[in-house]
Structure 1
């Protein structure tokens, strides 16, 4: 089971079934802010939805297809960071993330994503990490830009968000480029 202590207060670890209520509380508390960019918010209506999500996450991890981690501040679940899908044949993965707005702007997500980059390149021996973010989502885009990803292009109308399509910026980072 993946478990990493970022600092005295922050831990990222694999989500467990026992985290379902805490996950739902965090989503519920942040629903208004998260809804702006995350299409799955509308389908997360009760703790059982989080339980089903965590079950899928555990299955994906067991099959080595994905890895979904909770971000905990002093044992309080404040967000998630994940490998959406691990493409073993091509040595690549895509990182996704979200964070309780009360913890944004404090370096939490940058630190969590940095751990996942290290793990992808040094432990999993992948060659490429990608992050996609809506063109207007400046907070989300700041993470790969801060971590020296290359902006590779725009996927026009790449994501359906409730009632419209969003263009996505694609950022990529290769193992040979990662030094910190």
Structure 2
């Protein structure tokens, strides 16, 4: 599967990508204050997900962000979240992105997030795609607005990271926006 934009495109993971992303998740140059959540088995879960469905499923998925020069810029993922007390018919998707340092600030993030939201709306009967980011992550907030997301508000002290609680800003994009 390929999703094309002017600056970058999204493609499915390959077996060859898995060691690259495993190394990136342990590389101090890649990890920032916004994407380090401690040492965990996240890479093994990703490998398991790849074996199960190629990391493209109805509840969770991940794609590789590629430049048109065929360089890996990072990855983008989605996960199903519930929007109400019942599990049926009230779900949305939450998306997240991580770009390599040399590919930040070039418009890949906003384009990748726009492409993923378009894909999710085209394939799934959801009304909403949302994203959260740290209240101090101004570049990501700008990227979300550029991708067509609307700032909704602040979730106070909702994320435990790096030994402290952090406020997160919620952005959403509704079907048809």
Normalising by the smaller structure, the TM-score range is: 0.7 to 0.9
Aligned residue pairs, count: 170
Do the aligned partners of residues 123 and 63 (structure 1) sit closer, same or farther apart at CA in structure 2, a change above 3 Å counting?
closer
C-alpha distance in structure 1 between counterparts of 2:81 and 2:20, whole Å: 26
Number of the residue aligned with 2:126 = 126
Structure 1 length normalisation: TM-score?
0.79
- Structure 1 partner of 2:32: 35
CA distance in 2, matches of 1:96, 1:50: 16
Match of 2:60 in 1: 66
Question: Is the CA contact (8 Å cut-off) linking 1:157 and 1:167 kept in structure 2?
Answer: yes
**Structure 1 runs not aligned, ≥5 long:** none
> Alignment RMSD, CA only?
2.6
Question: Normalized against structure 2, the TM-score is what?
Answer: 0.81
Q: Distance in 2 between matches of 1:125 and 1:55?
A: 26
2:19 is aligned to 21
Q: Is the 8 A contact 1:35 1:42 kept in 2?
A: no
Partner SS state of residue 58, structure 2: coil
CA distance change for structure 1 residues 16 and 33 in 2, over 3 Å: closer, same or farther? closer
3-state SS of 2:77 partner? strand
Extract unaligned runs of 5+ from structure 2.
Answer: 83-87
Structure 2 distance, partners of 1:147, 1:6, is 12
TM superposition shift of 1:58: 5.4
Greater share of helix: 1
